[in-house]
Each structure stands twice: as structure tokens, then as C-alpha cells.
A and B are shown apart, each in its own frame.
Chain A
Amino acid sequence: MSEQEYSGLTGRIVQYTIQNSADVYRLGFWVGLVSFIMITLFPFYWLLVLAVTPDNQLYQMGVVPENFNIGVFATVVQEYPLHHYIFNSILIATITVIVCITLGSLAGYAFGRVDFPGKGPLLVLLLIISYFPGIAFLIPLFELLTGSLSILGTPTPDLYNTPWGMVFPFTMLSLPITIFILTTFYSQIPDGLEDAARVEGTTRLGALFRVIMPLSAPGVVTAAIIVFIGVYREFFFSFIMTDGSPENWAVLVYGILNFQQQHTQMYNMMAAASLIGIIPIAVLVIIAQEHIVRGLTAGGLKE
């Protein structure tokens, strides 16, 4: 091959690429990594820029803040009950986690460790639930949970504007993934350990709660984190099951949307509120990254 074929800038780039493919490969890797991280972080950075910009300068902004108004974070909590919404979100997510782990442990144990007929079809049934969009449950669930349905002449309790109005739909949405994750983890515990406990005279349920569950603690923690994040980030039922005031158990969804709908120009407040709303999740992601990765793949890859 003659030198002539590689003349010009493109030619020289091609030549360099062929001769130093390892370098080019490494360059591509770093360019890719840096761009992914920048794409990921830019919207967060923009929130920060908006939040710290004083409200009289919120117009035609650059990408670097010119003034810093850190007080906005305190204002958002003092003048608007943002912490109240976040507290509601965390409490409702925690109740859902407890309900799902309790019910899901029993089922996950059965699916992972007990042989019974119809196991396959029942697992498929769970998968079918997680397939249906939330809207396919909405209207009857709304009717059932807001007291507009009567069973044998007794109206169902009105749970609109209560935590339970959200906990019930969230439990329904989170149970399948909880069970998929726990089934995977429970099935990995060696039989010998359970047998040993049973020989020592532990009851069946005792073996589940005292031997199997502690051994599969990482699985339980993983499922709990995935359910917590799922509920904390949920939009649909959170939006529909309350009227939006924090006294009525409105969650973070309304804490953010109320700025957009009632205080339309307070962009710095919207940004600050969003950043504060992210904190609980950011903390969880930082300390439990491994669990989240494992849970998503265990739950997602279960056919």
C-alpha cells in the first residue's frame, strides 16, 4: 500500500487509527464515558444553577450562575411545607415496604423452596399484573378505595386523602417485583441449612423467619430498596389518590407540581424543591448502589 493513499487530514486520521488502534479504542472509551456522565448530570446541574440564582435574575440565564442565593433551600422548607410532602412520601413508602416484604417473603419462600402444583402458572399470573398499565386498575380501584362502592349494603371505607389510599395501590404494583427478587434469593440458599434447623426442632414457619430470612437478608434488603424507590418515584396513583394538600397526605408529586401550578414564576423554588426531593433517593443510591443493580437485574431478568 503506497503512502499516497493516506494523504489529506482524513487519510492521516485513518492511518493513525490503523497503526494505533489500542489508543483510539481507549480514546473512544473515555470520550464515551465522559459524555454519558455529562448527559446524565447536566439536568441536575441546571437545577442547581436555577436554584441558587436570585429570583430577580431568573431571565435569559447562562449555564454558570452569576450570583449565589443559598437561602432558597431554607425558604422552600420554611414558607412551603416541602418537608411535609417528603415526610408523607417516606412514610407511605416505608409502610408499603413493610407490607410487601411480609407478604412477599411467604410467597417468595414458597416459590423458591417449596414444591407445589401450579407454581408456574401462579408466577405467570404475577407477571401479568406487572404487565397491565396502571390505568387498567384505576377506575374500580378508585371506586373501591373512595367509599363509592357498597358491599352487601355497607359502603367501603373512604380512603381518599389517607395514606392507605396510596399504600393499597402501591402494594399491588410492588408485590410482583418483590416476589420475583425474593424467589431468586431464597432459591439460592442451600437446603442443608434449613434441614439442620428443622432437625433441631424448629417449626416450618420458625425455620423461615429464623433461618431462611436472616440468610437471605441481602435479598430482603434489595427488595426493600427497590420497592422504596419505586414508591417514592411513583406518579400515577400519588397524583390521583389525594387532593394535593400536605395535611391530606399528598406526597412529593404535589410538593413539586404545586409550584408549577400555583406559583408559576418561582423557577428557583421549583429547582430547589426538586433538588431537596432528590436527596433521600441520592443517599439511598450512593449507599446501596450494589443492591439496586442486583435487584433490578434479578427482578428484570426473571422470565
Chain B
Amino acid sequence: MKQKVQQAVSPIFLRIEQLDEAKYGFLLVSPVFLVLSVLAFYPLVKTLYFSLQDDDLTGTHPIGEFVGLENYVQILSGDANAILSSPFFDLQAPFSSALIVTLLITVVSVAIGTVMGLGMAIILNKEFKGRRYARTIVILPWSIPIVIQGMMFFLLFQPSLSPFVEPLANLGVFSDNPLINSQDSTIIVILIDIWRKIPFIALIIMAGIASIDRNLYDVAEVAGATKWQQFRMITLPQIKPVLFIGMIFYTISSMKIYGIVEASAGCSTVPTLTCLVVQTFRQQRWATASAIAFITAVVIAVIIMVYIVRFREADAS
């Protein structure tokens, strides 16, 4: 039996042995790209195709006739707001428009999170007793399940439980029940996002700091530069490329924000773009949902372009 199997298999191995380098390379990557064609490329193309059709709420399949860019026009002009669970873009109601809420969360979270991540990276890069334990502790927030990240802050801001809600309300920061107030909940979602992303960006920055040539600091020390000057003149310019990459990943991830919202304030209180897609999908409006998904992807692409252009400029000067 075993011999028979070997006889059947060995010609295949022989063929693989005789392939040239290029064909061998293609052979090895083909399974991955075969799988990804079905699970990634096909769905992406089909989402684009769906977004060009009409919603069919009465037929057997939720996708109706070809309407071209009609869905996009409806969404961007605000005409679609009436059928959506929350408006896509409405300056009159900034905390209930998906695009504004998502951009606000992303900008504030990335700005504060990156600065704090930089601070954490500098601190954890120093040699000190127990650094290993400190590193282990600080990567916990990033690694725990998203649903628990949301749940933690849901419990932290429950008015009947939390010792913080009342003092914060007295100070005028929050209302009495922040988790049902869109503005307060947006702030809470930003807090969660910062809390869980600091370790992520700090780790990336630490890798950048680790690769800086130590001699630069020795020279600066001899020249009498203070720690602050060393940071401004050596550390910051040297880690700039890594910082940009970290910020791009951070931004992409914040633009997709969904799970922590669902597990804390809920999608009706903080309607992010992903929330809007899921809710529209649940209303059986597949075409409109697909169009919003693609607009989200385009918005993210534009932001990444801005990063890359800014990086090129900063690099050139």
C-alpha cells in the first residue's frame, strides 16, 4: 500500500524537482492566492458590483437592477439619509453622522494615542529592573478580546455603579448617563481606542528606537546636548519613517472602529461607518450597504495618500 502511494506521488515530486526557480515560486504561492481569490478578491469585486445595483426589498434576492453610481450619489448628497439608520453626513447633527463621528474618533485618537505611545516607547526603552514585566503589562490592553475592551468601559461608565460618573457630571464633563448620550459616548469610545492602541504604536516606535545608532547619542553627549535636544535632534528624525507607518496602521484600524462601540455605547449612540454598513446590511439594503463600504475604503485611501504625501514632504525638507 505504502509503496503504491509512493509510486503515485513520486512523479509529482519529480516534476516539482525539475521546475525552474520562477515556476517553483509560483507553485508555492499559488495555494494562498487561490484561497484569497475566493475569500478576498471575489468578495471585493462583488461588493463593488453590488454597490452599482438597486436595493430590492421585495424580491427573492436583495439586489435589484443596475443603477450605476446612483447609490453613491444618494449617499453623498444626503438623499439616502432618510432610509439609513443614521445619516451618512449631516453637519446639523455631527454626533449622529457616521462620517463625522468616525473621522472625529480617528483624528483625536491618533493624535493623543501617538503622543502617548511615543512617551511609553521612550520609557520602556530604558534599562530598568522589571522592564520585562512592565512590557508584559502594557501589551495586555491591545491583546485582549475587543468585546472585553468595550465591556470594561461600559462597566466603568455605568451611572448606577461607577464612582466617576457623578463627579464627572458635576464638573460638567459628562451628562448623568454618558452611555446614552452621543457626545459623551463618542468621548468614551475615543478613550477606549487610545487605551488599547498605545501599546501597539509604542511597540512599533520601540523597534524604531532600537535601530538608532548609539554612537549618535555619545557624540551628542560629548557636544553637551541636553536630553531634550537629543530627543529633538536625533530620536525624532530617526524614528520618523517608523512613526509614519505606525500612524497609518493606527488610522486604518480606527477608521474601521466597530466592536468596542457595539460592546459599550451601542451603534445607535455612536454610529461609526462600520456600524452604518452593518445596520444597512441588516435592513436587507445590500446595495446601499456595499456602496457605504466602498466609500469608507476610499476615505481611508485618501487619508493614507495624505500621510504619504506629508511624509515625502517632511523627508525632502
Q: A139-B281, A140-B50 are in contact. Are A175 and B144 (CB under 8 A)?
A: no
0/1 interface trace, chain A 219-245, chain B, CB 8 Å (1 if under): 000000000010011111001100000
- Segment of A7-15, A70-78, A127-135, A188-196 engaged in the interface with chain B: A127-135
Contact B123 A32 (CB under 8 A): yes
**CA A25 to CA B263, docked complex, whole Å:** 40
Contact size class for A?
Answer: 35 or more
Main secondary structure of the interface of B (DSSP, over half): helix
- Indicate which residue in A43, A115, A126, A131 contacts B21 across the interface (CB closer than 8 Å): A115
- Indicate which residue in B22, B163, B304 contacts A116 across the interface (CB closer than 8 Å): B22
**CA A175 to CA B26, docked complex, whole Å:** 17
Contact B138 A37 (CB under 8 A): yes
Contact A236 B258 (CB under 8 A): yes
Contact A296 B21 (CB under 8 A): no
Question: In whole Å, how far is A66's beta carbon from the nearest beta carbon of chain B?
Answer: 12
Confirm or deny: B35 has a beta carbon within 8 angstroms of a beta carbon on chain A.
yes
**CA A137 to CA B255, docked complex, whole Å:** 16
Confirm or deny: B252 has a beta carbon within 8 angstroms of a beta carbon on chain A.
yes
Confirm or deny: B312 has a beta carbon within 8 angstroms of a beta carbon on chain A.
no
Confirm or deny: A40 has a beta carbon within 8 angstroms of a beta carbon on chain B.
yes
Task: Specify which chain B residues have a CB less than 8 angstroms from the CB of A115 in the assembled complex.
Answer: 21-22, 25
Contact A205 B252 (CB under 8 A): no
Q: A171-B35, A260-B151 are in contact. Are A234 and B146 (CB under 8 A)?
A: yes
Q: A103-B32, A138-B277, A289-B139 are in contact. Are A270 and B262 (CB under 8 A)?
A: no
Contact A107 B28 (CB under 8 A): yes
Confirm or deny: B171 has a beta carbon within 8 angstroms of a beta carbon on chain A.
no
Contact B145 A110 (CB under 8 A): no
Question: In whole Å, how far is B150's beta carbon from the nearest beta carbon of chain A?
Answer: 8
Confirm or deny: A278 has a beta carbon within 8 angstroms of a beta carbon on chain B.
yes
- Segment of B67-75, B82-90, B289-297 engaged in the interface with chain A: B289-297
- Indicate which residue in A119, A235, A285 contacts B258 across the interface (CB closer than 8 Å): A235
**CA A50 to CA B141, docked complex, whole Å:** 18
Q: A136-B47, A140-B46, A285-B139 are in contact. Are A235 and B262 (CB under 8 A)?
A: yes
Which A positions have Cβ atoms within 8 angstroms of B? 21, 25, 29, 32-33, 36-37, 39-41, 43-44, 46-47, 50, 58-63, 103-104, 106-107, 109-111, 114-117, 119, 122, 125-126, 129, 131-142, 144, 148, 168-169, 171-172, 175, 179, 203-205, 229, 232-236, 239-240, 252-253, 256-257, 260, 267, 270-271, 274, 277-278, 281-282, 284-286, 289, 292-293, 296-297, 300-301, 303
**CA A229 to CA B33, docked complex, whole Å:** 24
0/1 interface trace, chain B 32-57, chain A, CB 8 Å (1 if under): 11011011111110110010000000
Of residues A29, A114, A135, A296, which shows the largest number of chain B Cβ atoms within 10 Å of its Cβ?
Answer: A135
Contact B139 A292 (CB under 8 A): yes
Question: In whole Å, how far is A156's beta carbon from the nearest beta carbon of chain B?
Answer: 10
Pairs across A and B, CB under 8 Å, 29 listed: A29-B126, A36-B119, A40-B137, A43-B156, A44-B140, A46-B152, A46-B155, A47-B152, A50-B161, A58-B160, A60-B161, A109-B28, A110-B28, A114-B21, A116-B25, A135-B273, A135-B293, A136-B44, A136-B293, A179-B32, A235-B263, A260-B154, A267-B158, A274-B148, A274-B151, A284-B143, A285-B140, A296-B204, A297-B203
Contact B147 A253 (CB under 8 A): yes
**CA A281 to CA B145, docked complex, whole Å:** 8
Contact size class for B?
Answer: 35 or more
Question: In whole Å, how far is A117's beta carbon from the nearest beta carbon of chain B?
Answer: 6
- Indicate which residue in A29, A169, A289 contacts B132 across the interface (CB closer than 8 Å): A289
Task: Specify which chain A residues have a CB less than 8 angstroms from the CB of B245 in the assembled complex.
Answer: 300-301, 303
Contact A114 B24 (CB under 8 A): yes
Residue of B nearest to A271 (CB): B155
For the complex with contacts A39-B195, A107-B31, A131-B300, 11 further pairs of A-B residues with Cβ separation under 8 Å are: A29-B128, A37-B134, A140-B50, A229-B143, A234-B145, A234-B146, A236-B258, A256-B145, A282-B144, A289-B135, A297-B206
Q: A25-B227, A107-B32, A301-B207 are in contact. Are A43 and B143 (CB under 8 A)?
A: no
Task: Specify which chain B residues have a CB less than 8 angstroms from the CB of A37 in the assembled complex.
Answer: 134, 137-138
Contact A175 B145 (CB under 8 A): no
Contact B32 A274 (CB under 8 A): no
Contact A133 B259 (CB under 8 A): no
- Indicate which residue in A133, A168, A284 contacts B274 across the interface (CB closer than 8 Å): A133
**CA A288 to CA B263, docked complex, whole Å:** 28
Q: A106-B29, A132-B297, A135-B293 are in contact. Are A300 and B246 (CB under 8 A)?
A: yes
Contact B152 A204 (CB under 8 A): no
Residue of A nearest to B34 (CB): A103
Task: Specify which chain A residues have a CB less than 8 angstroms from the CB of B143 in the assembled complex.
Answer: 229, 233, 281, 284-285, 292
Task: Specify which chain A residues have a CB less than 8 angstroms from the CB of B225 in the assembled complex.
Answer: none
**CA A297 to CA B281, docked complex, whole Å:** 35
Confirm or deny: B58 has a beta carbon within 8 angstroms of a beta carbon on chain A.
no
0/1 interface trace, chain B 156-189, chain A, CB 8 Å (1 if under): 1010111100000000000000000000000000
- Indicate which residue in B17, B39, B147, B155 contacts A204 across the interface (CB closer than 8 Å): B17
